[in-house]
């Protein structure tokens, strides 16, 4: 059932792969070079992002007229709410974000695009664009969580947000594939739109990390 959906995802991910290493902040953190203040900024920005994405995923689920898409987006929303709460321990440990520009436009472009898609995006192409970037984000979070413990002395509770998104969740993949397959089978999914959506998600994701890399050089 999911063969063609998986093939489309693999095709999109192959297109995105050459830029996965354009993230300049994660290597700085993994080397222990980034200043500790970057974690206050990360937590503050993600606090806003997860709240926005929680609303956007609910809106995407409500607007979707295909059951598999509703299940996929509806399943993502609770994770954003859970992740939002996980940031509290990190915020308490780092103290306030003292950045000059708060919130940072480069960090909030990603959730703004998710919100735009909640109003304008075709459901299955949006699902493909979102899920195609999950693996890279998971790797970033895994590397950050390891470095937070090794180089910065954070506790597991304080690393919980990054641990959460680093975890592999097969159920989400199955739901994404089902939503994409339904779009393909129903001839609603425009593959060019799916590729475009995924490229924009990747660009906004990298903009988030690199905005902070510029502000907190290491």
Give the position of tokens 């975890």.
Answer: 167
Residues in Cβ contact with 133 at an 8 Å cutoff, skipping those fewer than 6 apart: 16, 198, 201, 202, 205
User: Is the pLDDT score of 1 beyond 60?
Assistant: no
Task: Give this prediction's pTM.
Answer: 0.96
User: Is the pLDDT score of 52 beyond 50?
Assistant: yes
pLDDT of 3: 60
Mean pLDDT of 180-205: 97
Q: Which domains does the chain have, with CATH numbers?
A: 3-215 (1.20.910.10)
User: In angstroms, rounded to a whole number, what is the distance separating the alpha carbons of residues 66 and 28?
Assistant: 42
pLDDT in tens, 85-140: 999 999 999 999 998 889 999 999 999 999 999 999 999 999 999 999 999 999 99
């Amino acid at each position: 059932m999911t063969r063609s959906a998986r093939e489309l995802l693999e095709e999109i991910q192959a297109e995105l792969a050459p830029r996965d290493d354009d993230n300049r902040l994660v290597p700085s953190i993994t080397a222990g070079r980034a200043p500790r203040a970057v974690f206050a900024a990360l937590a503050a920005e993600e606090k806003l992002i997860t709240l926005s994405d929680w609303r956007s995923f609910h809106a995407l689920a409500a607007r979707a007229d295909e059951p598999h898409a509703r299940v996929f987006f509806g399943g993502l929303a609770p994770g954003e709410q859970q992740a939002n709460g996980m940031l509290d321990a990190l915020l308490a440990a780092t103290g306030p974000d003292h950045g000059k520009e708060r919130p940072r436009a480069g960090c909030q472009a990603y959730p703004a695009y998710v919100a735009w898609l909640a109003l304008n995006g075709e459901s299955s192409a949006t699902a493909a664009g979102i899920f195609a970037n999950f693996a890279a984000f998971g790797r970033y979070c895994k590397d950050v969580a390891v470095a937070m413990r090794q180089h910065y002395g954070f506790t597991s509770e304080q690393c919980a947000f990054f641990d959460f998104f680093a975890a592999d969740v097969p159920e989400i993949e199955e739901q994404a594939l089902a939503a994409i397959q339904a779009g393909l089978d129903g001839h609603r999914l425009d593959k060019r739109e799916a590729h475009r959506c995924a490229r924009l998600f990747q660009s906004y994701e990298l903009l988030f990390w690199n905005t902070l890399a510029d502000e907190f050089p290491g």
